[in-house]
Amino acid sequence: MAVRLTWAQREQIVAQARAEAPNECCGMLLGRGDTVEEVFPGRNVDGTPRTRYELDPHDQLRAFRLMDERGWGLVAIYHSHPQTEPKPSKTDKVLAMYPDARYVIVSLRDPADPQVRAWRILEKTDGDGKPVVDEGGHAVKTELEEEVLVT
């Protein structure tokens, strides 16, 4: 599977990441199937925004209402990594709550060449299909990379 963005949508996400650096930016990608119809920028309300993100609940509500009005779905949740690679961190995996959505990460590690990558974050299962848990009883999650197709 893939996340399909226009060049303008990709640039909108990168511009938000640059504008909010050194903090992480965040938002939602709304559309149909794998195709993004609208970039919905959000506000990062996390108490430590340089290393974590939490999308403002009011922004989430507005995005879900817009999806309902237009008959769209949640294609992806995006955020930036101002100084690290575009790969889900341990915290990103723990906090991933939408297994059907992709998680798009914009890396500004090389500001001249921002990277945009997409991931699906899923709970690990054993051979019998049961969730794998850590010592604390929390679900162990893994990430699978998906394509980002820019047209």
* Residue (of 145, 142, 118, 141) closest to 35 by Cα position: 118
φ, ψ of residue 148 to 5 degrees: the values are -115, 110
Sign of the dihedral defined by the CA atoms of residues 56, 58, 61, 67, in that order:
negative
When pLDDT is averaged across residues 82-101 and rounded to a whole number, the result is: 92
When pLDDT is averaged across residues 125-151 and rounded to a whole number, the result is: 87
Check: CB of residue 111 under 8 Å from CB of residue 87: no
Which one-letter amino acid corresponds to residue 98?
A: Y
Contacts of 128 (CB under 8 A, 6+ apart): none
| Distance (Å, whole) CA 134 – CA 59 | 32
Q: pTM of this prediction?
A: 0.93
- Average pLDDT over the chain, rounded to an integer: 94
What is the pLDDT confidence band of residue 146, given thresholds at 50, 70 and 90? Answer: very high
Q: What is the pLDDT of residues 7-66, one digit of tens each?
A: 999 999 999 999 999 999 999 999 999 999 999 999 999 999 999 999 999 999 999 999
Which one-letter amino acid corresponds to residue 80?
A: S
Q: What is the pLDDT of residues 13-27, one digit of tens each?
A: 999 999 999 999 999
